[in-house]
Structure 1
Amino acid sequence: MGEKRIIDRAKLFIYEHARLLDRKRYEYHFEGGSKGAVIEALRAYQNSDGGFGNGLEPDLRGPHSHPIPTEMALSLMEELNSYDVQILEGINSYLREHTLSEGGVPFSLRSVNDYPHAPWWTAEEDSQPSINPTGRMLGLLYKQQTRPEIVQEEYFIRSVAYVWRYMEQERPVGYHDGIHALAFLQLTPERERASQYQPIMDQWLSRPDTMERNPRAEGYVHKLLDWAPLPESYARKFITDEELEEHLQVLITQQQEDGGWAIAWPPVSPAGEQEWRGLITVERLLTLKAYGRL
């Protein structure tokens, strides 16, 4: 399939089905659109408490702020290399109020139970910290320089202490924990301390059951291009050139007839499925572009 054909089909899908945020992301990356337009679309998902909700994570359909959508907002600004000061000030305020006493934020909050959501988001309690999303959230707040003073906040220092305790006492359980632990270790300024845990993470990544190496595996699995969506991704060094080429070729063939890529889990609703597919279609295009296939 030609490169232009891949993009043209994806473009039709995005404009037919994707939400405004992902249309603006597509426009920025592929059609000369502006970062500002993406930021303005992102801003609509932010609540008065500074956190993000309102379906930014399409499997969380309720209005309330949650930790993972808030981390997703940081990740989207990192994608643009553009951290909006007002959005950051809101996130800082949200984390100041919702970071747990021992540091870190929960995976999910009990308010999720009052609205449609995927079953894995159900929260019986929300008093325990989770490396997902605490690790990458802290890493990105270290990296951004729009509001560098955030890393001096008392809540931030407590959360950093939590992540170091996690690194000392636990190991990642699956993809989501792994990418958040890795993001923290890559972005923390405590380089000597981080280097102590790199061999442990490398050993974990090298295990045959950590990364799914079958590009045609079905179900909710995370394949090599999920671990290394960009050539500079940390996990890329654990992927051979032959494996990379095979996964890229299969990824291209998995573009659906309607131009989008499918999700690998049961959707909450038809709207949620289309929103996820729009988001993922932009992600797949960015991966193909980064590896020189577009």
Structure 2
Amino acid sequence: MKIFTSSQYQLAANFIVTNARPLEKALYLFEFADGNREDVIRELQKFQNDDGGFGHGLEPDFRTENSSALASSVAMQILSKIGAEDHLEIVQNAIRYFINSYDKNTYGWEKVPKAVEEAPRAPWWNYQEPREDWGNPNAEILGYFYDYQPLVPASLLAELTEYAIRYFNRLETFEFHEILSFLRLADRLPESIYQQIEEKIIQALHECVTTDSQKWEEYCLQPIQVVDSPESKYYRLFKAFLSENLHYISTKQNPNGSWSPTWSWFGQFEDTWKQAKLEWEGNITLQHLLLFRNFALI
């Protein structure tokens, strides 16, 4: 039996074109049809503020218009994915936002501003003082500094790199969202720097990734979230679980072609959650299509 059929793909594609946000539609067309990068950038710019940061519900679980490091890191994921160059205004403004909002005392950024509580949001996005999980999203942001190194002061890049390596290698327990941020950093580091954290990353993955398929129904870090293609440097670590994990994801497709988030807002801002849930469905469905394509299943 095929893991993912052509009819499943068509259902998913139709869902995105019909129901997803214009941003995800543009990304889908860019990745799978005759869309272009300029359309993606045009849609992404709608979430960018005058300070260069991103807000306006780009991350669907919090809806504040204000810029945040977390929403801006989501934007950088997209810009990096589509190969946006450092001469583009959207990139330059985003890096400017990170440089201007950097807190030297904490070696990073607040995830979200206090203004997050003035708009609908998931319960876990109430404002919080900086917590122990420094890496989320600070390590990831550092990775984008390497992507766009000509725009970043060398002293800031060196300072953050030194802190990130020291922080990560001292971790005794691991939180998987933080580990995902470090993985995005690791993908962008020069090899000589990556080697300084490689052993710790492998340790973290062995501890954080859930390989027991019976537990994938829970909110957990699945192998396919770490190894999103056969080219992943961690492919050999989880190769034995990938086919089963891909099949599991395939079976979770809804009859309308979408995949739904595995979380909710637990009754908070229910009307807004309905919209956020639909936005997540478009986003998750696109990410799953990219995953199946990476493994030559489309």
- Give me the TM-score of the superposition, normalised by structure 1: 0.89
Cα distance, 1:135 vs. partner? 1.1
Shift of 1:126: 4.7
Question: Which residue, 21, 32, 37 being the options, matches 2:34?
Answer: 32
What's the CA shift string for 1:45-87, capped at 9, x where partnerless?
0001100010110001110111111111111012112236211
Aligned counterpart for 1:99 among listed residues 80, 99, 102 = 102
d(CA) in 2 for partners of 1:106, 1:55: 17
Q: 2:64 aligns with which of 62, 65, 87?
A: 62
Provide the rounded CA distance (Å) in 2 between the counterparts of 1:141 and 1:21.
24
- Contact 1:67-1:133 within 8 A present in 2 as well: yes
Q: Mark the runs of 5 or more structure 1 residues left unpaired by the alignment.
A: none
CA distance in 1, matches of 2:120, 2:74: 19
Q: Evaluate the alpha carbon distance shift between residue 171 and residue 142 of structure 1 in structure 2; reply closer, same or farther with a 3 A threshold.
A: farther
**Could you list the per-position Cα deviations for residues 175-208 of structure 1 after superposition, in whole angstroms to 9, with x for gaps in the alignment?**
211121233234223x33431321122122223x
User: Contact (CA 8 Å) 1:51, 1:90: kept in 2 or not?
Assistant: yes
Equivalent residue for 1:197? 197
Aligned partners of 1:104 and 1:163 also within 8 Å: no
What's the C-alpha RMSD, in Å, of the aligned pairs?
2.2
- TM-score, normalisation: structure 2: 0.88
Q: CA deviation at 1:116?
A: 1.1
Alignment identity in percent? 25
Mapped pair 1:276 → 2:275: no
Unaligned runs of 5+ in 2: none
Provide closer, same or farther for how the CA distance between residues 199 and 157 of structure 1 changes in structure 2, counting only shifts above 3 A.
Answer: closer
| Matching of residues 1-294 of structure 1 within 5 Å | 3-83=5-85, 85-102=88-105, 103-126=107-130, 130-144=134-148, 148-152=149-153, 154-171=155-172, 173-189=174-190, 191-207=191-207, 210-215=208-213, 217-241=216-240, 243-267=241-265, 269-294=273-298
Q: Distance between the aligned counterparts of 1:258 and 1:83, measured in 2?
A: 36
Q: Which moved more, 1:244-253 or 1:2-11?
A: 2-11
Counterpart secondary structure, 1:234: coil
Rounded to whole Å, the distance in 2 between the matches of 1:83 and 1:55 is 24
CA deviation map 1:35-54 (0-9, x unaligned):
11111111100001100010
- Hey, what's the Cα distance between the residues in 1 that align with 2:173 and 2:71? 21
- Are 2:219 and 2:262, in contact at CA under 8 Å, matched by a contact in 1? yes
CA contact (8 A) 1:70 1:91 kept: yes
Deviation at 1:106, TM superposition (A): 2.3
